[in-house]
Amino acid sequence: MKIAIPDDYQDAVRTLACFQKLNEQQVIILREHLSDPNALAAQLQGVDALVLIRERTPITEALLARLPDLRLIVQTGKRAPHIDLAACTRHGVAVIYATPSHPGKPYATAELTWGLILSAMRFIPQEVASMKAGHWQSTLGRSLAGRTLGIFGYGNIGSLIAIYGRAFAMKVLVWGREGSRARAQADGIEVATSQDALFQTADVLSLHLSLLEETRGIVSSAHLAQMKPSALLVNTSRAGLIEPGALEQALRAGRPGYAAVDVYENEPVIDHPLLHMDNVVCTPHLGYVEKDSYEMLFGAAFDQLRAFADGNRTSVANPEALKQA
């Protein structure tokens, strides 16, 4: 089987232990992101299967029409809108969403979130750059103890952030859908009276929502304008949770005063307004990009690919595609 793994920016997949599961296959790894379907299709000619790294590679009608040999897409992680499932079915391409059987807690993203909070509150990136330039102590950071940590969305990651916040002697305040609020209350976490109250009260506000149709743009300019001038907004979830352009506008207006961001509307990012703002810490979507997470995600994906090659079709999300093929 000829297999392609696109958008492996760091050429990391071949270094994983689980990569040995593909020893008998022909594997092509593409590091460069190609946004033009024609250019990407040219690189993928003759490929039987794709293994996708989360949502990095959009699978569109235009791309599928140029890949007549493609029969299988294995997605690392859960279903997401970057794959046009109906188009895959029309072209006879089976899709499998490979989620680990024992995923455990999403520590990698939670740990990065906390790293961003510490970095932004204590101006660590600025101080590192300043010291390398020959200067000494150029900023005055702020501690976390006694301040209010707002968590918007109390799921697997949000609940870990709450634990970290308590360990740092912060007051933790949660808002989200009814399920989030009920889980927070069951864990003894205070629930805000409303989304507005969360934004008004938090000294550090971290977003931990899935990007769905009902959550797209759930953070508006009006919400951001209610934040304290000293507050920090952290987003390691999805850029689409915030109304387009609203964060940049809010930071220029001074409410909130700071941000730490790991996710962007279009990735990979070559240039972005946030990169030019001194009150923002930016990282290149590193939340899940960590060796243990990769071993878990790709191990599950490669197991599913091998099962499909052996005739097991039980995990196919669009079984109608098998009839088309």
Q: Which helix (H) or strand (E) holds 234?
A: strand 232-235
Interstrand relation of 232-235 and 171-175 (parallel, antiparallel or unpaired): unpaired
Say which of 248, 267, 290, 295 is annotated catalytic: 267
Instruction: Count the neighbouring beta carbons within 10 Å of the beta carbon of residue 59.
Output: 23
Owner of token pair 């001074």: 254
Starting at the edge strand found earlier in the chain, the sheet holding 49-52 runs: 26-29, 2-5, 49-52, 72-76, 94-98
User: According to DSSP H, which parts of the chain are helical?
Assistant: 37-43, 61-64, 85-90, 107-121, 124-132, 156-167, 178-186, 195-201, 221-225, 246-253, 291-309, 320-324
Output the CA torsion sign for 279, 284, 288, 290.
Answer: negative
Calpha distance 92→94 (Å, rounded): 6
Q: Which of 54, 223, 238, 243 is catalytic?
A: 238
Q: Which amino acid is at 85?
A: L
- Known catalytic residue: 248? no
Cα separation, 227 vs 223, in Å, equals 7
What Rg, from alpha-carbon coordinates, does the chain have?
22
Alpha carbon distance 27, 50 (integer Å): 10
User: CB-based contacts of 40: which residues, under 8 Å, 6+ apart?
Assistant: 6, 34, 57, 63
Q: Which residue has the tokens 């912060």?
A: 170
Active site residue 102: no
- Written as six digits, the tokens of 312 are 């097991």
- Nearest in space to 205 (alpha carbons), one of 116, 107, 286: 116
The 8-class DSSP code of residue 174 comes to: E
Q: Based on the residue annotation, tell me whether 255 is a catalytic residue of this protein.
A: no
Which residues are the active-site residues? 238, 267, 285
